């Protein structure tokens, strides 16, 4: 289907969703679909919930945020369950301004943007449908037409609570256009759209001296005063402020704490009482979720000002720290690269991982708990198994510093340095060393980093380099072993024969001479020592292997090289240990002979086909590992 056909289909779908009828017909619709009358907070919560919730060991993961927000599952869970959910239930928390507070490039504005874009799409679904009085610039809730003295009766009949009063403009229209007959007032379905200023508003404060509250509440249209005769005539007023247009949906305040004081009090009236003052009118009702975001420095400055004390209790602060998980940090970089014009560049495996390791280390705080250094802490946070630690230990570590993750290197800095590495190298492929080198060079250009932090960060780059050294050697090890796969299978079979004889207290028989002999203890220990199996633990390890073989046999499945992860690791390490001299010679030889060249080509092919390298990065990896082994 071509793009114009898709546009045509989209237009036809929008036409199909249109609905218009009288208030009486709208009430009939309400009887069938009560959710149509939900509040703005309820609509946002149901939108998030409708995308699905995934239960994890650490809590809940809300799928709505899954494709854009990485590593902030706990913060998102707290945001949904401590704010959106109770607010949707009309609890008092909905009468608070939601303030997302965190470091730059931490995901605050992305969360708000997702909520806005999500509402636009949700309003086009049956569950998220929104209806308003036709011709109203504020998209007013049609239920405001129900007189105050009948609202208890309405609740008994429909089970829906009504909040808010009819706006001055619609009160006048009701009398003049409909002769007071509410059942004839026209209602239409609306669709949220930020660009059309329907149900979604955004306000960015300018210079405090030039901030005009009319940007939020609308203003008098002086050109119509001669026609209508008074500034207090609602027809002479432009209901085009951001608060007017965001009614029924969401209102975003960027850098809210930079607002003039009178703006903040206006917001408090709106959130606390559900109305605001505009022009020479009575209070105007509005139903909208107020969400703002700011950084920690401005927030600390705000709460230290005694003049703002009354505001503190009316703001719900949700900390949005940096991600602290290495694998999720990689996903952030992958997304940022995909969204840029760098996605044609080959980025070698583990290049983003070492950048993520560096970033996460800068965000962690040194634990006071014995035996926990930053690297162990990083591994635990990333879900890795670290000997001597369990999930309870991880939760204790997280509680040690509630503000952990509010400082450190931000993702944009890393992407900027990756971009610099690409430009400087002038080759359409970069590796982990290129990234680390660029990160190091960039520290001198980072104006906000103190000399003390710069020294710490240089140390973290050194740690990331050592982590990469281990990764690189293992990667080449796997590639070489892959080329020797038959050798690995033979070694496993030999080991298993000896283990079976050992555990059953049987003798082995030499295939050539037929002579009986004891199980080869030296062979078994040479493999087991590769993964740290001690002399005291060898019997238990071998019995575990034998039990696993029996379990496979009962299922009619053959136990092989890939059936036991630790055994496979041990065999690979043993093989690589035996092959290390070959690797050294092969990777470091300036003029490899024919057999060496064949082996290099096999390993390069393995790195390309099995591990995601291209020819440039594969050869660079081999040369680097060769230099490591020759040290």
- Answer yes or no: pTM beyond 0.75: yes
Average of pLDDT values for 612-627? 88
- Per-residue pLDDT tens digits for 6-64: 888 888 888 888 999 999 999 999 999 999 999 999 999 999 999 999 987 767 899 99
- Using DSSP's 3-state secondary structure scheme, residue 516 falls into strand
User: Of 205-209, 240-244, 380-384, 410-414, which gets the smallest average pLDDT?
Assistant: 205-209
The average pLDDT across 413-441 equals 88
From residue 602, give the alpha-carbon distance in Å to each of 480, 508, 605: 8, 36, 5
DSSP readout, 423-461?
HHH-SSEE-HHHHHHHHHHHHTT-TT--HHHHHHHHHHH
The single residue listed with the structure tokens 């965001």 is: 246
What mean pLDDT comes out for the span 373-402?
89
Q: Is the pLDDT of residue 465 over 80?
A: yes
- Say yes or no to pLDDT of 437 above 70: yes
DSSP state of 71: S
pLDDT (0 to 100) of residue 214 = 85
So what's the pLDDT on residue 308?
A: 76
What pLDDT, in 10s, does the model give residues 491-542? Answer: 888 899 899 999 988 888 876 677 888 999 999 999 999 989 999 999 999 9
Determine the pLDDT at residue 586. 66
- The number of beta carbons lying within 10 Å of the beta carbon of residue 412 is 12
Judged by average pLDDT, the poorest of 68-72, 484-488, 492-496, 588-592 is 588-592
pLDDT band at 482 (very low <50, low <70, confident <90, very high): low
- Cα–Cα dist 314/478, whole Å: 58
Which of 124-128, 188-192, 562-566, 590-594 shows the lowest per-residue confidence on average (mean pLDDT)? 590-594
* Rounded Cα gap, residues 251 and 435, in angstroms: 40
Q: How confident is the model over 546-555, as a mean pLDDT? A: 89
Range 593-616 average pLDDT: 84
Which segment, 163-167, 299-303, 483-487, 590-594, is predicted with the most confidence on average?
163-167
The average pLDDT across 311-329 equals 91
Q: In the predicted model, is pLDDT for residue 198 greater than 90?
A: yes
Would you say residue 371 has pLDDT above 90? no
Confidence tier at 349 by pLDDT (50, 70, 90): very high
What is the model's pLDDT at position 45? 97
State the average pLDDT over residues 307-316. Answer: 80
What's residue 365's pLDDT?
94
Q: How confident is the model at residue 265 (pLDDT cuts 50, 70, 90)?
A: confident
The whole-number average pLDDT for the span 421-437 is 86
Nearest C-alpha neighbor of 489 from the set 542, 439, 563, 431: 563
The two three-digit tokens of residue 63, written as one number? 């799928």
Query: Any idea which of 419-423, 568-572, 597-601 has the lowest mean pLDDT?
Result: 597-601
The pLDDT of residue 207: 65
For position 247, what pLDDT does the model report?
A: 95
Q: How far is the first Cα of the chain from the last one, in angstroms, to the nearest whole number? A: 59
Give the pLDDT confidence score for residue 310 in this predicted structure.
73
Residue written as token pair 């710069």: 454
CB neighbour burial string for 493-505, b if at least 16 within 10 angstroms, e if fewer: eebbebbbbbbee
pLDDT of residue 483: 64
CB burial readout 144-158, b (16+ within 10 A) else e: bbbeeeeeeebeeeb
Instruction: Please state, for a pLDDT cut of 90, what percent of the chain lies above it.
Output: 50
pLDDT of residue 582 exceeding 70: no
Give the per-residue pLDDT at 579.
67
pLDDT mean across residues, the chain: 88
Dump pLDDT digits (tens) for 220-254.
Answer: 888 787 778 777 888 888 899 999 999 999 999 98
Cα distance between residue 67 and residue 328, in whole Å: 11
State the pLDDT confidence band at 385, using cuts at 50, 70 and 90. Answer: confident
DSSP single-letter state for residue 184: G
Q: Evaluate if residue 209 carries a pLDDT over 70.
A: no
Q: Is the pLDDT of residue 162 over 80?
A: yes
Decide: 382 and 327 in contact? Cβ < 8 Å.
yes
Task: Tell which wins on pLDDT, 231 or 379.
Answer: 379
What is the mean predicted confidence (pLDDT) over 419-431? 83
Measured N-to-C along each axis, helices 485-503 and 451-483 cross at an angle, to the nearest 10 degrees, of 80
């Amino acid at each position: 289907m071509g793009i114009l056909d898709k546009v045509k289909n989209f237009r036809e779908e929008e036409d199909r969703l249109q609905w218009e009828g009288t208030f009486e017909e709208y009430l009939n619709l309400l009887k069938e679909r009560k959710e149509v009358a939900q509040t703005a907070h309820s609509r946002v919560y149901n939108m998030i919930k409708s995308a699905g919730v995934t239960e994890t060991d650490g809590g809940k993961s809300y799928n709505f945020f899954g494709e854009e927000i990485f590593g902030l599952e706990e913060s998102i869970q707290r945001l949904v369950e401590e704010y959106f959910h109770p607010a949707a239930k009309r609890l008092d928390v909905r009468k608070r301004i939601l303030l997302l507070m965190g470091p730059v490039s931490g995901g605050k504005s992305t969360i708000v943007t997702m909520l806005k874009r999500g509402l636009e799409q949700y309003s086009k679904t049956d569950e998220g449908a929104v209806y308003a009085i036709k011709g109203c610039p504020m998209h007013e809730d049609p239920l405001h037409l129900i007189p105050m003295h009948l609202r208890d009766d309405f609740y008994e009949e429909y089970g829906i609570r009504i909040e808010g009063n009819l706006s001055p403009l619609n009160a006048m229209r009701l009398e003049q256009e409909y002769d007071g007959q509410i059942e004839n007032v026209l209602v239409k379905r609306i669709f949220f759209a930020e660009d059309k200023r329907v149900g979604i508003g955004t306000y960015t404060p300018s210079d405090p001296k030039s901030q005009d509250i009319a940007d939020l509440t609308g203003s008098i249209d002086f050109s119509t005063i001669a026609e209508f005769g008074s500034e207090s005539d609602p027809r002479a007023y432009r209901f085009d402020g951001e608060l007017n247009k965001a009614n029924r949906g969401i209102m975003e305040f960027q850098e809210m704490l930079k607002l003039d004081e009178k703006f903040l009090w206006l917001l408090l009236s709106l959130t606390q009482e559900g109305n605001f003052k505009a022009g020479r009118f009575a209070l105007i009702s509005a139903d909208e979720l107020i969400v703002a975001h700011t950084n920690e420095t401005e927030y600390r400055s705000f709460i230290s000002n005694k003049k703002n004390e009354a505001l503190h209790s009316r703001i719900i602060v949700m900390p949005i720290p940096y991600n602290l998980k290495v694998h999720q940090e990689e996903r952030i970089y992958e997304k940022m690269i995909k969204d840029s014009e760098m996605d044609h560049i080959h980025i070698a495996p583990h290049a983003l991982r070492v950048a993520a390791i560096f970033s996460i280390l800068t965000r962690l705080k040194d634990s006071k708990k014995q035996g926990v250094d930053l690297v162990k802490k990083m591994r635990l946070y990333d879900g890795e198994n670290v000997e001597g630690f369990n999930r309870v230990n991880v939760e204790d570590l997280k509680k040690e510093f509630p503000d952990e993750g509010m400082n450190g290197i931000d993702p944009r800095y890393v992407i900027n340095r990756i971009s610099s590495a690409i430009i400087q190298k002038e080759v359409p492929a970069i590796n982990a060393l290129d990234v680390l080198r660029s990160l190091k060079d960039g520290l001198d250009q980072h104006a906000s980093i103190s000399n003390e932090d710069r020294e710490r960060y240089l140390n973290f780059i050194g740690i990331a380099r050592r982590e990469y050294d281990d990764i690189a050697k293992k990667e080449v090890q796997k590639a070489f072993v892959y080329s020797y796969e038959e050798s690995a299978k033979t070694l496993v079979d030999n080991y298993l024969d000896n283990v079976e004889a050992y555990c059953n207290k049987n003798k082995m028989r030499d295939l050539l001479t037929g002579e009986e002999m004891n199980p080869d203890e030296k062979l078994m220990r040479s493999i087991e020592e590769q993964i740290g199996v001690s002399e005291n633990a060898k019997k238990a390890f071998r019995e575990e292997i034998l039990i696993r073989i029996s379990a496979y046999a009962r299922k009619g499945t053959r136990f092989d090289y890939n059936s036991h992860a630790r055994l496979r690791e041990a065999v690979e390490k043993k093989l690589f240990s035996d092959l290390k001299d070959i690797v050294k010679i092969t990777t470091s030889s300036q003029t490899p002979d024919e057999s060496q060249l064949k082996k290099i080509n096999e390993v390069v092919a393995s790195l390309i086909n099995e591990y995601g390298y291209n020819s440039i990065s594969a050869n660079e990896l081999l040369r680097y590992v060769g230099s490591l082994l020759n040290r």
